[in-house]
Amino acid sequence: MSALTPATPRLVLADRVFPRTRVFDVVLVVAGAALTALLAQVVVPLYPVPVTGQTLAVLLVGATLGVARGASSLALYAVLGLAGLPVFAPQDDGSHLTGMLALATPSFGYILGFIPAAALVGWASERTWDRGFLKALVTFAGGSLVVFAFGLPWLAAVLGTDLATTLDYGLWPFLIGGAIKAVIAAALLPLAWWGAGKLAAARDAE
């Protein structure tokens, strides 16, 4: 039993594919942070917060790993960026802000929001909400809202904007993209469960 797993673990997608051991817990947490860093490099420049693939990674990591490992993975992602690794979304010139410079950006609140968002999605997935399209869509929409709940106040504090400007900068431009990401994730997870079931059946038949 790993320190990252609950006393009575609930099955999530990762547990259908990999044995639940301390080693695999660590590997999966690192892999989730790496996926988020990779999709962070998929950027559509926009002031003051760019559109990136990070939220899609957050939804997939939380759903696949569950509460503890999902939140740990996104916490690791934030720590790696603050420690100086170029894992956050690049600036317009291709450079990466890290450490205290990243803390001062309007977008860092969204990064903080990734952690509870992954936890919420993971909690729902541990209760099988990721196995059908409609429940998964509700789950991922909820996770996306958590990101905004952290990101918008941070943006307002950094830029000193009023409510209307904060929403113009940090919410309205992202709603369509967020909805698309939630639909993609909601479509992928039931399909992934189907594939994992096939693999497990083939493995058991050997």
Domains and CATH numbers, the chain: 13-205 (1.10.1760.20)
- Coil/strand/helix, residue 43: strand
| Residue 75 contacts residue 39 (beta carbons within 8 Å) | no
Tens of pLDDT, residue by residue over 184-195, are: 999 999 999 999
Q: What percent of the chain has pLDDT over 90?
A: 86
Give the residue carrying structure tokens 């497990």.
200
Structure tokens at 23: 């080693």
pLDDT class for 9, splitting at 50, 70, 90?
Answer: low
At position 168, the amino acid (one-letter code) is D
Distances (CA, A) of 68 to 62, 84, 125, 185: 9, 24, 12, 20
Number of H helices, E strands in the chain: 9, 2
Structure tokens at 52: 């990136």
Residue 5 is predicted with a pLDDT of 47
Is residue 199 pLDDT above 90, yes or no?
no
| Residue 196 contacts residue 15 (beta carbons within 8 Å) | no
Q: By C-alpha distance, which of 129, 126, 121 is closest to 147? A: 121
- Please tell me the pTM assigned to this model: 0.92
Residues 87-95, mean pLDDT to the nearest whole number: 92
Q: H or E element: which one contains 38?
A: helix 22-40
- Mean pLDDT across the chain: 93
Residue 1 is predicted with a pLDDT of 45
Structure tokens at 97: 């802000």
Q: How many CB atoms lie within 10 A of CB 52?
A: 23
Alpha carbons 175 and 145: distance in angstroms, whole number: 10
Is residue 8 pLDDT above 80, yes or no?
no
- Coil/strand/helix, residue 205: helix
Please report which residue ranges of 129-174 form alpha helices under DSSP H: 133-159, 163-170
Q: Is 90 exposed, middle or buried (0-12, 13-18, 19+ CB in 10 A)?
A: middle
Alpha carbons 131 and 31: distance in angstroms, whole number: 22
Picking from 5-19, 47-61, 108-122, 128-142, which range would have the lowest pLDDT averaged per residue? 5-19
Residue 77 is predicted with a pLDDT of 98
Q: H or E element: which one contains 119?
A: helix 108-125
Residue 203 is predicted with a pLDDT of 74
